[in-house]
Structure 1
Amino acid sequence: MSFKEDTVTTDSNLLTQRSTVLTLAQTRSGLSSDIACGLAVANVYYNQPLLAHMGRSLNISVQQVGFIPTLTQTGYAVGLLLLVPLGDMMERCWLIIIMLSLLACALVVEATAPNLVWLSVSSFVVGFCSIVAHLVIPLVAHLTHPSERGKAIGMLLSGMILSVLLARSVSGIIGEYFGWRAVYGISAGVMLVLALVIQGRIPQSKPSSPLSYQQLMQSLVQLVREQPVLREAALNVALVFAAFNATWVSLVFLLESPAYNYDSRVAGLFGLVGLIGVFTTPIVGRVADKRGPRMLVGIAVILSLSAFVILWIAGGTHLMGLILGMLLVDLGMHTGYVSNQIRIYNLVPNAESRLNTVYMVTNYTGGALGSFLGTYTWGLWQWNGVCALGFFLLVVAFIAHFSVGKRKSPAV
């Protein structure tokens, strides 16, 4: 089986779809496609400011409630593995509508979960169904010229980042005033509305591959084996995202500790420090188009390491140190995320969904591990343990990245 055998759309249809997708990526008003994607993926992050509320409501320990974001992100990774490759063989619009409808059902179950078992199962399913964005992003990559790919992806991800950041803040506020269950009930209604509205918002697209589902899944292994840049990018983003999540899932416990004595509203609003990613992500995409994304990956790792030094030294007791550290954590994460994603889309034509599958499954597997280890180390050693964990993960990322020599093409 050869990736060159994948079919493509006709030139005229491709140009029409390319124009439509770029318009969608640039839209920032109403229920545009990128915001819809952001609202879907935001469900993966709603629980981070709500963990303390969930624990008290269901009378479970910190370690037990710490599994909730882990299960959600694990479900997301499984959904990326099993569902996203379908984007290379099915019409994406109807696939997106189906996933939004299933997501709404899972959110209703989570909103009414009576105990830890139901909460755990529904959290996994919510993550599994929240893969809408990664049905759209490969479409954008496929229909844009390589010289403009970074700009287009950066703009799309900027809208997604804004939605995720607002989700953390809004969920913290709603959770404080109306309870954590209200967050998921409201989100279920939003997903149903999106499923109805999204028709016509995303262009119809012919499948780019003639492969069967079994062949698509087998080709994932072939991609990993044949593409060293894919392996390198996936490992890097997994380590950075693990450190990122370890910090975020522990932040609510730090803010509620005697060191700060803040409630979940502050934990949610604290997510607004990540607005820096909204403004820098399009810039990162443009720089990657001109200078090559690999250089930016190295900068992202260095920024993230600097963030954990600040968080370790000052974040546990000084608010300004915590804010500065979290700003750099977000900046490093989003820079690395976008840069690595641009790298993989330049590897194999007509395999964008499968490349994205490998990349995102590895990413969210690292994120799930980081969420688990973050709450576990908090339970044992509090903030110092979380910072030591994040620093160690980023040292591994630093060594792995800079031990690999620069490749001949700046595109990768």
Structure 2
Amino acid sequence: MTMNRGLLLLMSVATGLAVAGNYFAQPLLDLIGRELGVGPSAAALMVTAAQAGYALGLILLVPLGDLMERRRLAVALYLATAAFLLVSAAAPNGTVLLISTALTALTSVGAQVVVPFAATLADPAERGRVVGTVMTGLMLGLLLARTASGALSELGGWRTVYWVNALLMVAMAVLLRIFLPRLGGDGQRLSYAGLLRSTVAMFRHEVLLRWRAGIGALSLASFSVLWTALTFLLVQPPYEWSESAIGLFGLAGAVGALTATVAGRLADRGHVQLVTGAGTVLLVASWAAIAAGAHSLLWLLAGVIVLDLAHQAVLNSSQNVLYALRPEARNRINSAFMTALFLGGAVGSGLTSVVWVFGGWAGVCVLGATFSAGTVVLWVLERVTSRPAVHKGTTDLHHQKENESVAHRTDHRRHRNRVHRADEGAGRG
């Protein structure tokens, strides 16, 4: 098992494309509604359908990575996503589009199979950087999907967005099939029902998972508050931007997302707790700049970049901690962690609409800052209440990474020697 730059880039792009399909429709809801003859409320159900589908995929499909051969699972999910995107592209009415949107989101969790796959292939000493790079691709797909969909829809209509994404997903499936190594699951003795029970039980058995799930959920809630309310702010004075211009604002968030590898490198050097703590404090600080952004584009841009940077730092450092807990159960841990994150994001988005009506931008900023402050509180509580365990866990993590790194290099040498002997045998033959 090896991880080179080309494979890392492929896995990063693959995760970004998989999640992007869940966000392409958001800036196109009005256009889709008018063509298919559905009202705004019915069109908006597509967002809910995508969220519900993704949640089910996290719970029902991602744990399969600990049971099945992982390359086959990833390729199957990418091909299924491509098929459902084709159905969306050809949808004759709103009902078909709604169903295909939910199914696309369900299988798009293939991205969450690829992330722990990358963590397993990586040398333990570089796991933080590798996971950070792959998650950068995921976040860029999430943030830039709106920008790309606006551009593609202007070129050939809203259906073009789905046609292009479907073709790209097929291409990704082929490339993953060619370049990913075979990687068997470690939970073959579990039944599917037992696998799901084991996933839920992770919260009971792993204290760090509970803390990190709470921190991550509040961080994503804060992130969702911003990106849900941003459109409300930018369509009114003093901005009064068009939908296409608002879509371009995702580029600002992408700047923050690109810093994820920095957080990963710091985590690899033993500063994982420092990265988490700094990330939570920056989350709170970002909302001061975002609040000032009500009347200043520069402050708004600064706040968005800092918030995205901070969220990435919290997410990446948490994954670095969790993926080292139980290597044989990485997909189940990832499923549990990401489900908690999703719930936090859904709560953040849901509350934002209500708070905007009654409190405007100021109320939204208070809400986002409150979620961010919660991450600081949970991080401090984790450090205080689990100090002996955390200290021991940090030491064990260091030793585990050293042992895993030795095992990783040994496995690589054995694989290289087998290939060399095979080549010699072929030459003698």
Taking structure 1 as the reference length, the TM-score comes to 0.85
Aligned equivalents of 2:79 and 2:312: distance in 1?
29
The answer to whether the 8 A contact 1:25-1:156 is kept is no
Which AA in structure 2 matches 1:244?
A: F
Once residues 348 and 100 of structure 2 are traced to their aligned partners in structure 1, the CA distance between those partners, rounded to angstroms, is 20
The 1-side partners of 2:33 and 2:296 are apart by 27
User: Is the 1:147–1:289 Cα contact (8 Å) retained in structure 2?
Assistant: yes
Are residue 260 (structure 1) and residue 239 (structure 2) matched?
A: yes
Change (3 A) 1:52 1:330: farther
* Offset, 1:265: 1.7
Instruction: Specify every segment of 5 or more residues in structure 1 that has no aligned partner in the other structure, as ranges.
Output: 1-16
Cα distance, 1:117 vs structure 2: 4.7
1:71 to 49, 55, 59: 49
SS in 2 for 1:200: helix
- Corresponding letter in the other structure for 1:256: V
CA gap 1:186/1:309 in 2 versus in 1, 3 angstroms: same
Q: Structure 1 residues 304 and 111, CA, compared in 2 at 3 Å: closer, same or farther?
A: farther
Q: Give the corresponding residue for 1:394.
A: 372
Superposition pairs of residues 77-226 of structure 1, within 5 angstroms: 77-113=55-91, 117-176=95-154, 178-210=156-188, 211-226=190-205
1:52, 1:236 → 2: CA distance? 35
Count of aligned residue pairs for this structure pair: 388
Residue 285 of structure 2 aligns with which residue?
Answer: 306
Find runs of 4+ consecutive structure 1 residues off by over 6 angstroms: none
CA contact (8 A) 1:106 1:125 kept: yes
Between the aligned residues of both structures, percent identity stands at 34
Determine the structure 1 residue equivalent to 2:356.
378
What is residue 279 of structure 1 aligned with on the other side?
Answer: 258
C-alpha RMSD of the superposition: 2.5
How many Å separate the matches in 2 of 1:189 and 1:248? 28
Which deviates more from structure 2 when the two are superposed, residues 257-266 or residues 177-186?
177-186
Q: Which residue in the other structure is 1:337 paired with?
A: 315
1:157-178 Cα offsets, whole Å, 9 max, x none, are 2333334333232123334554
Distance 1:104 1:119 in 2: 14
Cα distance in 1 for residues equivalent to 2:34 and 2:308 = 29
Alignment correspondent of 2:210:
231
- 1:246 corresponds, among 217, 225, 237, to 225
Point out the structure with the larger helix share. 2
| Deviation by residue 1:282-320 (Cα, 9 ceiling, x = unmatched) | 1111101113322212211111111122212x2222211
Which protein, 1 or 2, shows the higher relative CO under an 8 Å CA cutoff with sep ≥ 6? 1
- Relative to structure 1, the CA distance from residue 368 to residue 47 in structure 2 (aligned partners, 3 Å threshold; closer, same or farther) is farther
Identify which range, 314-323 or 281-290, moves more after superposition: 314-323
- The answer (yes or no) to whether the contact 2:7–2:180 under 8 Å persists in 1 is no
Structure 2 residue runs without a partner (length 5+): 398-429
**Mapped contact 2:15–2:134 kept (Cα < 8 A):** no
Going from structure 1 to structure 2, the CA distance change for 1:64 and 1:319 (only over 3 Å counts) comes to: farther
The 1-side partners of 2:89 and 2:364 are apart by: 29
User: Is the Cα–Cα contact under 8 Å of residues 209 and 350 in structure 1 kept in the other structure?
Assistant: yes
Q: Which has the larger radius of gyration?
A: 2
Partner residue in 2 for 1:363: 341
Q: How far 1:379 sits from its partner (Å)?
A: 4.3
Cα deviation for residue 214 of structure 1 reads: 1.8
